[in-house]
Amino acid sequence: ARARAEAAQAAAKAEAFGQYREAAVVEMVLQRLPQAAEAVAQPLLGTRRVTLVAGASGDVGVSRLPGEVLDVVTRLPSAIEALTGVSVTQ
């Protein structure tokens, strides 16, 4: 009975550590997300001229830039999940 109780306790600790790991990764990502967005946009600050090539539909010209930055940032959660195995969106 004692061995079973110790085994159950060890299993509970392992599960708690597993959940903590996921929570820690999610917290770290959420804290760094604004910095990632800034890093994506930073190279554009010193840019004097931008040439954009657009398809047949959608925004054209400078109005396309915010959408491009947003597109990069919205891809981060799936990239993080691919790298860490932890879903940030959950």
- pTM (2 decimals)? 0.41
Give, for all 90 residues of the chain, the pLDDT tens digit. Answer: 888 888 888 888 778 777 777 777 777 777 777 887 788 778 878 888 877 776 667 676 677 778 877 888 788 888 878 877 777 777
Whether residue 65 contacts residue 50, with contact meaning beta carbons closer than 8 Å, is answered with: yes
Predicted local distance difference test score (pLDDT) of residue 56: 63
In 10 A of CB 80, how many CB atoms?
Answer: 21
Q: What's the per-residue H, E or C state across 17-80? A: HHHHHHHHHHHHHHHHHHHHHHHHHHHHHCCCCCCCCCCCCCCCHHHHHHHHHHHHHHCHHHHH
Predicted local distance difference test score (pLDDT) of residue 16: 75
